[in-house]
Structure 1
Amino acid sequence: MSQVTADARARRPHRTAVGLVFGLVVVVAALIGAFVDQRGPTPAPSLSDILPGDQGRPVTEVDGAVTGADGVLPDGVTVFDDQYPGVANLDPELLQALRTAASDAGHRGIEFNVNSGWRSPDYQDQLLRDAVAEYGSQAEAARWVATADTSPHVSGDAVDLGPYDTMDWLSRHGAQYGLCQIYGNEPWHFELRPEATDHGCPAMYADPTEDPRM
């Protein structure tokens, strides 16, 4: 047997092992790719990932029998949709300021969606019960939800707006319309402060428990 033949036989098992390893790598890569495809693309961060507090959103979903007549709103309602009591029952001056601001912001592609506006006492009571159940105490719930007797939503003097672009725009321009963020932990909550057009918005409370009205 020649030296060439002997060398070829000696190298054959090595090439076979390399081929097996390469084939295994290809199979594993294919399985990983299939798994990733099944999972789908990674979702973009939501508002709840960006903002602090109550999962970064106002409390608008409730367990109970309250309906649209109590102020519950579906998604996508704007400040111009006064067929909904949650919008139509807002204080007229607040609603006019919101619509003026929304018209100006609309030229920049910004839409004022109302997540919650006017609420009936029953709606507010239900929100408070749900908040106590979620946060574990009346004291902690009070940082996010007022009683029906003290809530500016029940009197029609407050509105919770979104999305993020709307909150950001109002944080910079709202004062010229008298629209002010009241609580540091609720960037979606706005109320009318007419004096803000001349003097700017007042300093915010950290949360509703610091508000003397509460």
Structure 2
Amino acid sequence: MTVELVRANAQDADVLFAARVSTKGEQSLEDVGADASKSAGLINYLMRDRHGSPFEHNSMTFYVQAPIFVFREFMRHRIASYNEESGRYKNLSAVFYTPAPERNLIQVGKPGAYSFEAGTAEQHSMVDAEIKASCTQAYEAYQRMLTAGIAREVARAVLPVNIYSSMYVTMNARALMNFLSLRTTREGTHFPSFPQREIEMVAEQMEDEWAKLMPLTYAAFNKNGRVAP
């Protein structure tokens, strides 16, 4: 999975002036460039008591490359702006996802109460071989249709959801915290989450970038159980 932070207007001080306008009015303008390290307690208070709107006055844009099935999970979060490459307007590259050897394969239990465990070497070999064979057949059919003059939007119908796509996604810190609370697994969370591993791989990289931009907000998020305010 590829995640790049391409643009950001996000810092801890953004939380402060947005919060202080409620008590200081126009004097809150003095806090636009404030030293946020002196106000870590306020940021923690806002996070702890779930005063969420001050965390919205910032923006981060990420470039993401991932399989289409990851994007379909991602776009269930209606708290971001998305622009994805289009199979109607460009030929899709023959890049497909196959699980790494360390990816757990076996589902134990039932939905809502299950876990995943490692598969055998034979099972991993089978997954790898079957996915590669299926993708090869599908992409060859795709190319045959394009060569015959079939429109891209029709020819793409044969491609599987493990083909890679790319998109830009823009969100604020509050939206990102909501995303991370659901798409990462961490000890000490108030509400444990069990994301599919592939989207968690994307979320982990986004989290690393955000942690560098807003370290005080990030610390408060973790301190208070990784619950989005």
* Higher RCO (C-alpha 8 Å, min separation 6): 2
Same fold, TM exceeding 0.5? no
Higher CA-based Rg: 1
**Category of TM-score, reference length = shorter chain:** under 0.3
Greater percentage in strand: 2
TM-score for both structures, normalised by structure 1: 0.20
